[in-house]
Structure 1
């Protein structure tokens, strides 16, 4: 009876996970859409951005500037990707398993495509690009070709890269999840402190990164199956070419006798 009850609880938890992911994804998508519309059309989101910028966190805590200049690099794509790839590469070499690296690759592609496309389409300018005009009324509502500030790429990268390491971890996932969340949250807030992003850019980056992580359980198996089919086709072609060359070599050898 105990075993049956335990199995029932395990089955219930497993069936609840997809529902929880869908509901969480729906919530994140709703927030991201609301921010996107609010930024593009013009709304109280702009007032919120301007108010946070004028509050000037760097003025309140100037002693953090030196540390945060380095800390924000944990969301810089090349750096955090290099760290994660090195860690998973070492694991792949030890365990002879490339799947964790594949998850990182898929997550990175989804982030670059999704966030990159949104940045280009929105074309928003950030405080750093606006310079002294960033504190003026309506500054958060300025768009121009080359504007790539919404959503925050550093924030999305931090969510996705460190989140992937937690997803593929063998153990200590709860501790890892807490650490990854701390990094993602603080990297996003650091971009506001440094004046490179509006606060809405950061919230949008959190949402976009979260959506990528939630999509991975559905996307990665499909990519793995497609890769397996492609590899099987390539291996089959190579085998057929090898067999053809071997047969021709035998015929040549027979004819020369």
Structure 2
């Protein structure tokens, strides 16, 4: 009987032994947009102002506030399960299972998070949410533009991936892959009722002490955080690092809520 935890650890570490990966490590900091010299205050200030634009870009604070919405929702359901069950009964009568209703709202909020992030990135080019919606509308309703847009996107993606630093690509992919392994394993182990607060909403959820709960604490939230970091690293800093830092704090907060309240 093999140890799944050992297999995962070895599988994640083994690719880093290849010479092509080791050779690319020296260029990894610059590829990720990190300061060349951490002893130079100017270099650090430039990095912080670019990736943590708290003061100079109010829209960034608005984005982070919007990204907190799912975790505020999780907090409310965890601390007020009767209120959520009553809300489902009054306003979501077709969803008789409060856990399933919770899951549907959570999926919607995650979709909203993605759209807001895309809109914010589009807004850096002067488009914002209006520009994003216009691009989507034009792509889907202009004859021939769907094919043209798809080909253009595929070509740009291929060029970007082909030019990636090997260590950057490996680190990003491994974080995403490991994060999703944790997420999928949590769903497989405890199901929808276990993931979406069935223990608080009157469902019988069996206790699970197998994988991934015997591997890391709060594997679902940790998996989500690792996936977000993986995307940001794979994109080489296109998304400010302030986003995964704050998102990780949100997931840590949700973990604390479930562990202590």
Q: TM-score, normalised by structure 1?
A: 0.31
Q: TM-score, normalised by structure 2?
A: 0.31
Larger Rg: 1
